[in-house]
């Protein structure tokens, strides 16, 4: 049975890029192997320095993930920082990590370009991520395309460790990236990302969601004129939620003319609202049971700790500690 692992940073509310790129594939994987999913609070600390916000976001990620269908009877859900052994493995990997490898990582370059102070934590981020993956002997890592390079770094580090300290010391993981969902576009057509301010959060109030959708950037083609469905963010997003027949209908109406963008946005809103109706109901249920999330995370932490200790003990021994 393959072991599947992935993580998500509690830096804000989850959006539909997270949902299609990672959460839904992860939820599908929970049926096919031993799945471990964690809330990457150590990673979030590279940019979030407000303890109350970090705690609230962490809880929010657990709530949203459970509402979307993560089943704690099938998958292990835990907080990254409940397994501090990953920090020790990070150090053990660091001693073999070439500076050049990290210098090439785009996430660090992007963060600095966005104005974050270039800290050691931000620079060493991929090594912590490698430790996350390697400490659980993971086979498969479901992620969006933006994380592909980090899984490649993980493989490079595992190979180096195995060459230096013993073949088969660390298991080599494979990323799992669904081609159609690898990069979900945001309201402006760029990759959906908190840092671009173009996100659609999963559990917005009805009015707030409507407002976001109505705010999708469009050109000034008049209502009567034909429009190009191939270049429209509305159509790109609609494809994620609507039935194939409804998508064809929207594409036909785009080409025909006579429909304004406002009309298409209303159809998109309705499709998103309907898609998340069952998850919204589950979310309300979970919120009525305040002990549930704590219990899930506590039990997840226990199980993750047991698995992490096996690898860490093996690596310490192999390295002479």
Name the residue with the smallest CB distance to ligand TYM. 21
Q: Which stretch binds ligand TYM (CB under 6 A): 2-10, 95-103, 220-228, 289-297?
A: 2-10
**How far is 15 from 305, CA to CA, in rounded Å?**
29
Q: What is the dihedral of CA 26, 42, 152, 141, to 10 degrees?
A: -10
Task: Supply the minimum distance, in Å, between the C-beta of residue 260 and ligand TYM.
Answer: 27
Helices (H), 170-290: 206-214, 233-241, 244-256, 261-275, 277-287
- For residue 270, the tally of other CB atoms under 10 A from its CB is 15
- Output the CA–CA distances (angstroms, integers) from residue 291 to 67, 75, 288, 297, in the order listed: 15, 19, 9, 10
DSSP assignment of 25-40: HHHHHTTTSEEEEEE-
Q: Least separation, in Å, of the C-beta of 264 and ligand TYM? A: 21
Q: Which of 9, 79, 212, 265 binds ligand TYM (CB under 6 A)?
A: 9
Q: Work out whether 175 is an interface residue with ligand TYM (CB under 6 A).
A: no
At residue 221, φ and ψ (nearest 5 deg) are -55, 130
Q: Report the nearest approach of ligand TYM to the CB of residue 302 (Å).
A: 20
**Binding residue (CB under 6 A) for ligand TYM from 30, 57, 147, 198:** 147
* Residues in 20-79 at the binding interface with ligand TYM, rule: CB under 6 A: 21-22, 40, 43
Cβ-in-10-Å burial (0-12, 13-18, 19+) of 321 comes to exposed
Query: In the bound complex, what is the minimum distance in angstroms from residue 17's beta carbon to ligand TYM?
Result: 3
Q: Which is nearer to ligand TYM, 3 or 266 (CB)?
A: 3
Is residue 196 a contact partner of residue 188, using CB atoms and an 8 Å limit?
yes
The burial of 119, by beta-carbon neighbours within 10 Å (0-12 exposed, 13-18 middle, 19 or more buried), is given as middle
Question: Mapping DSSP to helix (H, G, I), strand (E, B) and coil, where does residue 6 land?
Answer: strand
Q: How far is CA 252 from the centre of its chain?
A: 33
Q: Does 18 bind ligand TYM (CB under 6 A)?
A: yes
Q: Report the residue from 57, 90, 183, 198 that binds ligand TYM according to the rule CB under 6 A.
A: 183
Span from 95-103, 127-135, 272-280, 287-295 in contact with ligand TYM (CB under 6 A): 127-135
CB of 175 to ligand TYM, least distance (A): 9
Environment class of 244 (CB within 10 Å of its CB; exposed 0-12, middle 13-18, buried 19+): exposed
Minimum distance from CB of 42 to ligand TYM (Å)? 8
Q: Which stretch binds ligand TYM (CB under 6 A): 16-24, 67-75, 234-242, 310-318?
A: 16-24
15-23, 52-60, 239-247, 285-293 -> range binding ligand TYM (CB under 6 A): 15-23
Of 129, 81, 86, 88, which Cα lies nearest the Cα of 105? 129
CB nearer ligand TYM, residue 180 or residue 224: 180
Strand, coil or helix: 42: helix
Cβ distance to ligand TYM smaller for residue 149 or 221: 149
Does residue 240 belong to the site contacting ligand TYM (CB under 6 A)? no
The answer to whether 43 touches 178, Cβ cutoff 8 Å, is: no
Residues 70, 89, 170, 191: which binds ligand TYM (CB under 6 A)? 191
For residue 132, state whether it binds ligand TYM (rule: CB under 6 A). Answer: yes
Minimal distance, residue 184 CB to ligand TYM, in Å: 4
List of residues contacting ligand TYM (CB under 6 A) = 5-9, 17-18, 21-22, 40, 43, 129, 132-133, 141, 143-144, 146-147, 183-184, 191-193
């Amino acid at each position: 049975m393959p072991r599947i692992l992935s993580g998500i940073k509690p830096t804000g509310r989850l959006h539909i890029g997270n949902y299609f790129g990672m959460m839904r594939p992860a939820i599908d994987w929970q049926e096919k192997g031993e799945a471990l999913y964690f809330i990457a609070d150590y990673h979030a600390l590279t940019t979030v320095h407000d303890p109350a916000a970090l705690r609230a976001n962490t809880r929010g990620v657990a709530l949203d993930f459970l509402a979307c269908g993560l089943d704690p009877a099938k998958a292990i859900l835990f907080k990254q920082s409940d397994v501090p052994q990953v920090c020790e493995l990070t150090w053990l990997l660091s001693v073999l990590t070439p500076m050049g490898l990290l210098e090439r990582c785009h996430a660090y370059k992007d963060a600095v370009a966005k104005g974050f102070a270039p800290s050691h934590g931000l620079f060493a981020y991929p090594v912590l991520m490698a430790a996350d993956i390697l400490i659980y002997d993971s086979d498969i890592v479901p992620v969006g395309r933006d994380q592909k390079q980090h899984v490649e770094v993980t493989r490079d580090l595992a190979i180096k460790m195995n060459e230096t300290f013993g073949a088969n010391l660390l298991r080599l993981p494979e990323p799992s990236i669904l081609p159609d969902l690898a990069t979900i576009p945001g309201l402006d057509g760029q990759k959906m990302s908190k840092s671009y301010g173009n996100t659609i959060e999963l559990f917005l109030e009805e009015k707030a969601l409507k407002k976001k959708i109505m705010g999708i950037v469009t050109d000034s083609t008049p209502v009567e004129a034909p429009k190009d469905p191939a270049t429209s963010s509305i159509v790109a997003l609609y494809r994620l939620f609507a039935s194939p027949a409804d998508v064809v209908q929207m594409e036909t109406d785009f080409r025909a003319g006579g429909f304004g963008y406002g009309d298409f946005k209303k159809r998109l809103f309705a499709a998103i609202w309907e898609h998340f109706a069952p998850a919204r109901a589950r979310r309300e249920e979970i919120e009525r049971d305040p002990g549930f999330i704590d219990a899930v995370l506590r039990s997840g932490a226990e199980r993750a700790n047991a698995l992490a200790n096996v690898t860490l003990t093996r690596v310490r021994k192999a390295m002479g500690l």
